[in-house]
């Protein structure tokens, strides 16, 4: 799984943490995420965390994120060599570039959780157009898309022309959402995990 | 060897000198028996073949607010395409050119675990200075490229020292390999322009080739022209190139009363440029910052002497009083004095032009440069230390 920095209390942070907690009860899960400090953590026999820092500050969030993705790629390759994986799960535009590259390299399915789109967030910055295009790149190339609510789903369908069948709407933290994601993993990876 | 080269510009898309460099180097590598794939920008995704080179073009975006964002997006496209290509081609080495290819090069090095070679043609510090957030980011990307690359190539000897110093590059991973000149291109070129369109029969035609920017020393050359004309009236200065400064410098020339004695062509295609080198009497390269100085070599390939600044690569591409004359950088009096020395002595000027041609034939042929480059590839691949 790829994500930005895991921050307690932050929605995406809690989403990722909940899935890690749930999946690692029965499956090997590797999280590759950004952090200020480079660190490799083995939480238990089923959960490894690869915290990756970025050597460049960047002149804006977009440019920083693109370089951060190259750094995440190093950790992604480490996971591939040390543990292998059957499926890749990315969260939002921030980790789409590395997730797409790893999916192509390893020839594994990519699930993309779109928690919101840049258009929903209001297109408030001058590089919003680039974020929108990266979102499009991810949405069109992902094997399957998860959305948290109706609004995001409508944006994904209407703004990016994504077919409805490729999207699953799951409200996080409710109705065994984690188990349903695991079922989706099984279906896409076509392995008996 | 299977080589994957990233360059944001490749013929027919040409902005600076990187396109020609990559094209000529690739052709020479193909002649040596290597398999060269170029990944570059294009209006649409397509594959092309030229002189044994396989060219893969990918498009970029219209949404970028600045050049860095544009190249970041292009690099994402490069990276995805390269991963696909590698499944079939199994590249031995990745070679990137300048900061605009650094993100994809660094990303692929990590994901594919391929050796990375990085050629620096110039630095942002030298081109424009580090004075905006965008130029700071470009400088950071240049550093990142030198940090991630297994081996680095610089195109000038002085420039090599500059890169070592500003990016703290260890001695063992940096090399100086000059640019080359495709001599056949000059010998086989047909005249596609006529001298009389630019200068009178009675005038000496002095050619400036390059982007019209402060870095290229255009201001100092314009200040030198009235001093030259005071003593040698029959001289015409032809400026070839654009770089965004065409209107500004044409306006400046006219305001100095030089309308009749200057001619600004703007961008010209290669065949016209080669014709202009051939019909000119000499070339002027007044650069303040010049990592390599290809102009002096191209002029030499056309049997022409160059009067150029004693800076960067021009220190090597001009042999003073043998293939041309050196001037003090950023000094219009020095430019005027040296131009006058050549203008008053036709035979000396022609003799220096012929010497320049011999120098290019001996030291700056692409086949030789390609051999050096494969040596660096081998080092990056760990074939030898």
Could you read off the pLDDT of B69-99 as tens digits, one per residue? 999 999 999 999 999 999 999 999 999 999 9
Contact A67 B80 (CB under 8 A): no
Q: How many CB pairs under 8 A join A and B?
A: 86
3 state DSSP class of A52: strand
Our CA-based measurement puts residue A168 at a distance from the nearest CA of chain B, in whole angstroms, of 26
- Residues in B 72-111 with any Cβ partner in A closer than 8 A: 72-73, 75-76, 79-80, 83-84, 103, 106-107, 110-111
Quick one: which of B299, B360, B292, B298 has its CA closest to B98?
Answer: B292
Contact A104 B137 (CB under 8 A): no
Interface pTM, i.e. ipTM:
0.93
> Residue A17: is its pLDDT beyond 90?
yes
Confidence of residue A122 (pLDDT cuts 50, 70, 90): confident
- Cα–Cα distance measured from residue A136 to residue A154, given in angstroms and rounded to the nearest whole number: 14
Query: What pLDDT is recorded for position A47?
Result: 97
Query: What pLDDT is recorded for position A190?
Result: 80
In chain B, which stretches have pLDDT less than 50? 385
Instruction: Annotate B286-295 with b (16+ C-beta within 10 A) or e (fewer).
Output: bbbbbbbbbb
Query: What pLDDT is recorded for position B15?
Result: 76
Contact A133 B61 (CB under 8 A): yes
Average pLDDT of every residue of chain A: 95
- Considering only CB atoms, which chain B residues are within 8 Å of A103? none
Query: What pLDDT is recorded for position B193?
Result: 87
Could you read off the pLDDT of B314-333 as tens digits, one per residue? 999 999 999 999 999 999 99
Domains of chain B, start order: 2-180+365-382 (3.40.50.2000), 184-363 (3.40.50.2000)
Our CA-based measurement puts residue A66 at a distance from the nearest CA of chain B, in whole angstroms, of 7
Confidence of residue A193 (pLDDT cuts 50, 70, 90): very low
Which residues lie below 8 Å from residue B230, measured CB to CB, with a gap of 6+?
A: none
Query: What pLDDT is recorded for position A182?
Result: 95
- Considering only CB atoms, which chain B residues are within 8 Å of A105? 83, 111-112
Confidence of residue A192 (pLDDT cuts 50, 70, 90): very low
Our CA-based measurement puts residue A174 at a distance from the nearest CA of chain B, in whole angstroms, of 36
- Cα–Cα distance measured from residue A130 to residue A138, given in angstroms and rounded to the nearest whole number: 12
């Amino acid at each position: 799984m790829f994500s930005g920095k895991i921050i307690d209390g932050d929605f995406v942070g809690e989403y990722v943490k909940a899935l890690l907690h749930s999946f690692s009860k029965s499956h090997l899960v590797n999280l590759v995420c950004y952090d200020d400090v480079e660190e490799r953590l083995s939480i238990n026999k089923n959960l490894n965390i690869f915290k990756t820092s970025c050597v460049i500050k960047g002149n804006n969030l977009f440019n920083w994120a693109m370089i951060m993705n190259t750094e995440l790629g190093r950790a992604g390759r480490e996971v591939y060599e040390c543990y292998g994986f059957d499926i890749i799960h990315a969260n939002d535009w921030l980790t789409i570039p590395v997730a797409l590259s790893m999916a192509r390299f390893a020839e594994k399915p990519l699930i993309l959780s779109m928690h919101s789109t840049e258009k929903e967030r209001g297109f408030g910055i001058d590089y919003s157009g680039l974020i929108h295009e990266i979102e499009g790149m991810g949405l069109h190339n992902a094997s399957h898309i998860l959305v948290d609510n109706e609004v995001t789903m409508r944006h994904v369908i209407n703004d990016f022309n994504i077919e409805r069948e490729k999207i699953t709407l799951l409200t996080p933290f409710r109705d065994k959402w984690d188990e349903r994601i695991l079922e989706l993993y099984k279906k896409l990876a076509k392995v008996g995990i | 060897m299977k080589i994957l080269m990233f360059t944001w510009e490749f013929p027919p898309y040409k902005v600076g000198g990187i396109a020609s460099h990559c094209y000529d180097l690739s052709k020479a590598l193909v002649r040596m028996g290597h398999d060269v794939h170029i990944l570059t920008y294009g209006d649409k995704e397509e594959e092309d073949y030229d002189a044994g080179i396989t060219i893969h073009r990918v498009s970029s975006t219209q949404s970028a607010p600045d050049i860095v964002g544009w190249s970041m997006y292009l690099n994402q496209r490069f990276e995805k395409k390269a991963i696909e290509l590698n499944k079939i081609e199994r590249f031995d080495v990745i070679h990137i050119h300048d900061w605009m290819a650094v993100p994809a090069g660094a990303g692929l090095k990590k994901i594919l675990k391929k050796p990375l070679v990085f050629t620096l043609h110039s630095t942002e510090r030298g081109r424009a200075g580090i004075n905006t957030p965008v130029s700071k980011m470009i400088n950071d990307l240049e550093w990142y490229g030198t940090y991630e690359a297994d081996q680095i190539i610089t195109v000038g000897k002085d420039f090599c020292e500059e890169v070592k110093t500003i990016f703290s590059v260890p001695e063992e991973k940096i090399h100086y390999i000059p640019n080359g000149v495709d001599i056949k291109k000059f010998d086989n070129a047909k005249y596609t322009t006529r001298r009389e369109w630019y200068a009178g029969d009675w005038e000496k035609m002095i050619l400036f080739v390059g982007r019209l920017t402060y870095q290229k020393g255009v201001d100092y050359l314009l200040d030198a022209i009235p001093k030259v004309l005071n003593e040698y009236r029959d001289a015409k200065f032809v400026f070839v190139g654009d770089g965004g400064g065409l209107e500004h410098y044409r306006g400046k020339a006219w305001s100095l009363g030089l309308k009749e004695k200057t001619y600004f062509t703007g961008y010209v295609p290669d065949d016209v440029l080669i014709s202009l080198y051939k019909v000119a009497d000499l070339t002027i390269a007044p650069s303040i910052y010049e990592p390599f100085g290809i102009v002096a070599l191209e002029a030499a390939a056309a049997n022409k002497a160059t009067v150029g600044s004693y800076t960067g690569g021009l220190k090597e591409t001009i042999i003073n009083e043998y293939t041309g004359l050196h001037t003090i950088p950023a000094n219009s009096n020095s430019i005027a004095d040296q131009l006058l020395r050549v203008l008053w002595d036709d035979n000396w000027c022609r003799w220096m032009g012929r010497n320049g041609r011999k120098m290019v034939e001996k030291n700056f042929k692409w086949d030789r440069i390609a051999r050096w480059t494969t040596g660096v590839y081998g080092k990056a691949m760990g074939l030898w230390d």
